Structure 1
Amino acid sequence: MGVITQLLTLPLAPVRGVAWVMGRVVDAAEAQYYDPAPAEEELARLEKALLAGEIDEETFERREDELLDWLEEVRAYWRGAPPERESRWPP
Protein backbone atom coordinates (compact mmCIF):
# COMPACT_ATOMS: atom_id res chain seq x y z
CA MET A 1 0.00 0.00 0.00
CA GLY A 2 2.89 2.42 0.68
CA VAL A 3 4.15 2.17 -2.91
CA ILE A 4 0.66 2.64 -4.36
CA THR A 5 0.03 5.65 -2.13
CA GLN A 6 3.35 7.19 -3.14
CA LEU A 7 2.60 6.66 -6.82
CA LEU A 8 -0.90 8.11 -6.54
CA THR A 9 0.26 11.17 -4.61
CA LEU A 10 3.40 11.75 -6.69
CA PRO A 11 1.78 14.62 -8.64
CA LEU A 12 1.27 16.42 -5.30
CA ALA A 13 4.98 16.23 -4.36
CA PRO A 14 5.81 19.71 -5.74
CA VAL A 15 2.92 21.21 -3.78
CA ARG A 16 4.06 19.51 -0.57
CA GLY A 17 7.62 20.67 -1.24
CA VAL A 18 6.55 24.28 -1.75
CA ALA A 19 4.40 24.13 1.37
CA TRP A 20 7.34 22.79 3.37
CA VAL A 21 9.67 25.51 2.07
CA MET A 22 7.09 28.22 2.80
CA GLY A 23 6.73 26.87 6.32
CA ARG A 24 10.48 27.17 6.86
CA VAL A 25 10.47 30.73 5.43
CA VAL A 26 7.66 31.73 7.80
CA ASP A 27 9.52 30.18 10.74
CA ALA A 28 12.70 32.08 9.86
CA ALA A 29 10.81 35.35 9.39
CA GLU A 30 9.06 34.98 12.75
CA ALA A 31 12.33 34.17 14.49
CA GLN A 32 13.89 37.33 13.04
CA TYR A 33 10.81 39.48 13.72
CA TYR A 34 10.56 38.30 17.33
CA ASP A 35 14.29 38.62 18.06
CA PRO A 36 14.64 40.63 21.28
CA ALA A 37 18.19 41.81 20.51
CA PRO A 38 17.26 44.94 18.49
CA ALA A 39 14.88 46.16 21.21
CA GLU A 40 17.48 45.50 23.91
CA GLU A 41 20.09 47.38 21.88
CA GLU A 42 17.68 50.28 21.42
CA LEU A 43 17.06 50.38 25.18
CA ALA A 44 20.82 50.64 25.76
CA ARG A 45 21.14 53.43 23.16
CA LEU A 46 18.18 55.21 24.70
CA GLU A 47 19.73 55.12 28.16
CA LYS A 48 23.04 56.44 26.82
CA ALA A 49 21.20 59.28 25.07
CA LEU A 50 19.43 60.18 28.32
CA LEU A 51 22.67 60.15 30.31
CA ALA A 52 24.39 62.25 27.62
CA GLY A 53 21.56 64.79 27.77
CA GLU A 54 20.53 64.19 24.15
CA ILE A 55 16.92 63.42 25.10
CA ASP A 56 14.71 64.50 27.97
CA GLU A 57 13.20 62.28 30.66
CA GLU A 58 9.73 62.34 29.08
CA THR A 59 11.00 61.10 25.71
CA PHE A 60 13.07 58.44 27.45
CA GLU A 61 10.11 57.15 29.46
CA ARG A 62 7.78 57.09 26.44
CA ARG A 63 10.24 55.16 24.25
CA GLU A 64 11.24 52.89 27.13
CA ASP A 65 7.58 51.96 27.75
CA GLU A 66 7.13 51.17 24.04
CA LEU A 67 10.25 49.01 23.96
CA LEU A 68 9.36 47.18 27.17
CA ASP A 69 5.87 46.48 25.81
CA TRP A 70 7.48 45.06 22.68
CA LEU A 71 9.86 42.90 24.72
CA GLU A 72 6.90 41.54 26.68
CA GLU A 73 5.21 40.65 23.40
CA VAL A 74 8.40 38.91 22.24
CA ARG A 75 8.65 36.93 25.47
CA ALA A 76 5.00 35.92 25.18
CA TYR A 77 5.60 34.77 21.60
CA TRP A 78 8.52 32.57 22.63
CA ARG A 79 6.44 31.13 25.49
CA GLY A 80 3.84 30.19 22.90
CA ALA A 81 1.18 32.59 24.13
CA PRO A 82 -1.08 34.12 21.48
CA PRO A 83 -0.55 37.85 20.89
CA GLU A 84 -2.84 40.04 22.97
CA ARG A 85 -2.99 42.76 20.36
CA GLU A 86 -1.83 43.59 16.90
CA SER A 87 1.93 43.99 16.79
CA ARG A 88 3.39 47.50 16.80
CA TRP A 89 7.02 46.71 16.05
CA PRO A 90 9.10 48.60 15.62
CA PRO A 91 7.67 50.89 18.28
Structure 2
Amino acid sequence: MGIFSAIVLSPLAPIKGVIALGEVLQRQAEKELYSPANTRRQLEELQEARERGEISADEEEKA
Protein backbone atom coordinates (compact mmCIF):
# COMPACT_ATOMS: atom_id res chain seq x y z
CA MET A 1 0.00 0.00 0.00
CA GLY A 2 1.42 3.33 -0.97
CA ILE A 3 1.65 6.33 1.27
CA PHE A 4 -1.09 8.09 -0.69
CA SER A 5 -3.47 5.15 -0.22
CA ALA A 6 -2.66 5.01 3.49
CA ILE A 7 -3.45 8.70 3.91
CA VAL A 8 -6.65 8.58 1.88
CA LEU A 9 -7.97 5.35 3.42
CA SER A 10 -6.97 6.00 7.04
CA PRO A 11 -10.30 7.68 7.94
CA LEU A 12 -12.01 4.40 6.99
CA ALA A 13 -9.96 2.31 9.44
CA PRO A 14 -12.45 2.62 12.34
CA ILE A 15 -15.29 1.59 10.04
CA LYS A 16 -13.35 -1.45 8.85
CA GLY A 17 -12.63 -2.34 12.47
CA VAL A 18 -16.31 -2.17 13.42
CA ILE A 19 -17.22 -4.31 10.41
CA ALA A 20 -14.59 -6.89 11.34
CA LEU A 21 -15.85 -6.95 14.93
CA GLY A 22 -19.42 -7.43 13.70
CA GLU A 23 -18.34 -10.37 11.56
CA VAL A 24 -16.58 -12.00 14.51
CA LEU A 25 -19.67 -11.53 16.69
CA GLN A 26 -21.91 -12.97 13.99
CA ARG A 27 -19.72 -16.08 13.60
CA GLN A 28 -19.67 -16.62 17.37
CA ALA A 29 -23.45 -16.20 17.66
CA GLU A 30 -24.07 -18.68 14.85
CA LYS A 31 -21.62 -21.12 16.41
CA GLU A 32 -23.48 -20.97 19.73
CA LEU A 33 -26.92 -21.09 18.10
CA TYR A 34 -26.23 -24.24 16.10
CA SER A 35 -24.09 -25.97 18.74
CA PRO A 36 -25.33 -29.52 19.46
CA ALA A 37 -24.32 -29.11 23.11
CA ASN A 38 -26.41 -25.94 23.42
CA THR A 39 -29.42 -27.61 21.80
CA ARG A 40 -29.08 -30.60 24.12
CA ARG A 41 -28.86 -28.32 27.17
CA GLN A 42 -32.02 -26.46 26.13
CA LEU A 43 -33.91 -29.73 25.68
CA GLU A 44 -32.76 -30.91 29.11
CA GLU A 45 -33.92 -27.64 30.67
CA LEU A 46 -37.34 -28.05 29.04
CA GLN A 47 -37.62 -31.60 30.31
CA GLU A 48 -36.63 -30.56 33.84
CA ALA A 49 -39.16 -27.71 33.80
CA ARG A 50 -41.85 -30.16 32.67
CA GLU A 51 -40.94 -32.59 35.46
CA ARG A 52 -41.13 -29.79 38.05
CA GLY A 53 -44.54 -28.79 36.71
CA GLU A 54 -43.42 -25.32 35.66
CA ILE A 55 -44.68 -25.82 32.10
CA SER A 56 -47.41 -27.95 30.58
CA ALA A 57 -46.98 -30.62 27.94
CA ASP A 58 -48.41 -28.23 25.34
CA GLU A 59 -45.89 -25.55 26.27
CA GLU A 60 -43.09 -28.09 26.08
CA GLU A 61 -44.18 -29.15 22.60
CA LYS A 62 -44.37 -25.54 21.40
CA ALA A 63 -40.88 -24.79 22.70
- With the length of structure 2 as denominator, give the TM-score of the two structures: 0.59
Quote the residue 2:10 is aligned against: 10
Runs of 4+ in structure 1 off by over 2 angstroms are 38-43
Distance 1:38 1:7 in 2: 46
Structure 2: give runs of 5+ residues left out of the alignment.
52-56
Quote the residue 2:26 is aligned against: 26
Deviation at 1:37, TM superposition (A): 0.8
Q: Which has the higher helix share?
A: 2
Deviation at 1:38, TM superposition (A): 2.8
RCO (CA 8 Å, sep 6+): is it higher in 1 or 2?
1
Structure 1: give runs of 5+ residues left out of the alignment.
64-90
Distance 2:36 2:13 in 1: 37
Secondary structure of the residue that 1:19 maps to in structure 2?
helix
Residue identity in the other structure for 1:33 = L
Q: Radius of gyration: which is bigger?
A: 2
Count of aligned pairs between the two proteins:
50
Residue identity in the other structure for 2:4 = I
Quote the residue 2:36 is aligned against: 36
Deviation at 1:2, TM superposition (A): 1.7
